[in-house]
Amino acid sequence: MATSVRSRCLRLLRVVAPWRSSLLHCENTAVSHFLQSLRKLPVRAFYTNARRVHTAPARTLFLLRPLPILLVTGGGYAGYRQYEKYRERELEKLGLEIPPKLAGHWEVALYKSVPTRLLSRAWGRLNQVELPHWLRRPVYSLYIWTFGVNMKEAAVEDLHHYRNLSEFFRRKLKPQARPVCGLHSVISPSDGKILNFGQVKNCEVEQVKGVTYSLESFLGPRTSTDDLSFPPAPPCGSFRNQLVTREGNELYHCVIYLAPGDYHCFHSPTDWTVSHRRHFPGSLMSVNPGMARWIKELFCHNERVVLTGDWKHGFFSLTAVGATNVGSIRIYFDRDLHTNSPRYSKGSYNDFSFVTHTNKEGIPMRKGEHLGEFNLGSTIVLIFEAPKDFNFKLKAGQKIRFGEALGSL
């Protein structure tokens, strides 16, 4: 019985197969003819009772639109990054330690391809445009509300006094707003948030906990020129050992992040002498704490101005790091410094010595004295030599104001 049923099915297939192949051939031929006729259709117009309607070939419906795809992809990635940051903040509130997730090489390269230097120059030009008198209060009030600016500390509280955004960003404070601590040897050079601090070990410095950058890449290579502040190199030893000039001392660091709403000027953190300036042109990526946890050696990628010299315990340096929309870094006593120039060589740096034949010491700075300014929030990095019993009076993540103690012996 089973054999007879199977033989009948085989005979049926032999009969249907030719018809099936011919049907498929006809279907394919019809579809191909239909598509060819669509390609030949011109753009036509016809009228309805409402309006004139244009028709286009159907093939245009199948073209890929690169801009919408780019916007959707970029928006999705940005949304994912924001979700990750939100999740990290929630876990931090619960007291859980989150291991940093570092960006890949392609992500860093993609970020660096954004023309942040051009955008920062455009932002700088916009900041210098004088605002109409009636527009100043609403514009500045929006900025104050967004970033939590305390205008009661400003030397001039009247918002109409500031002709443009640049003057508002660089506003001065009342003399009594930031008393300078005289009991401690090192004070905070600016308002901001403490990202990290401690001893420099193995020539690596932590920008945030768990994410480091190279000390030599950040400060630049030693040079044997006599007028530079770097001490003579020992016959052998690491870059860190070359900076420590006195036996028994250690190398310390402190990273302070200035938010857009913070006071934008920075001051001398101690009594010291500035003998050398090194300017590194570079990228202008954001330096907020989230980016510092994401991009390794972020501070080495960005444009920065390194001031080096000596204090009573040996080597001392202060570095002003640029960021997005903060291409302009100004040092008051250095008129030859020009940051965020349109053209620069990748990996290059410019040296300038303040030690001359007429000035053998350099530029003396007193603790709390005005040193420079940013046009918007950025980062200050201190790297200095001190005895082993130097103690920081800080906690990671705390808010600090200019004049408050960083540490002392």
Catalytic residue among 120, 190, 191, 334: 191
Rg (CA), the chain: 32
7 catalytic per annotation: no
Helix H or strand E segment including 2: helix 2-39
Question: Which tokens belong to 326?
Answer: 């903060």
Q: How far apart are CA 78 and CA 270, in angstroms?
A: 41
Distance CA 18, CA 14 (A): 7
314 vs 164: CA distance, rounded Å: 42
3-state DSSP call for residue 287? Answer: coil
Question: Known catalytic residue: 191?
Answer: yes
The DSSP line for 338-395 is --S-S---TT--EEEE---SS-SS-EEE-TT-EEEEESS--EEEEEEEEETT-EE---
Active-site option among 185, 283, 328, 378: 378
Candidate list 267, 276, 279, 313, residue with the active-site label: 267
Tokens of 97: 């330690």
Query: Is 378 considered catalytic here?
Result: yes
In contact, 215 and 204? CB cutoff 8 Å: yes
For 186, the token pair is: 């090192």
Active-site annotation, residues: 191, 267, 378
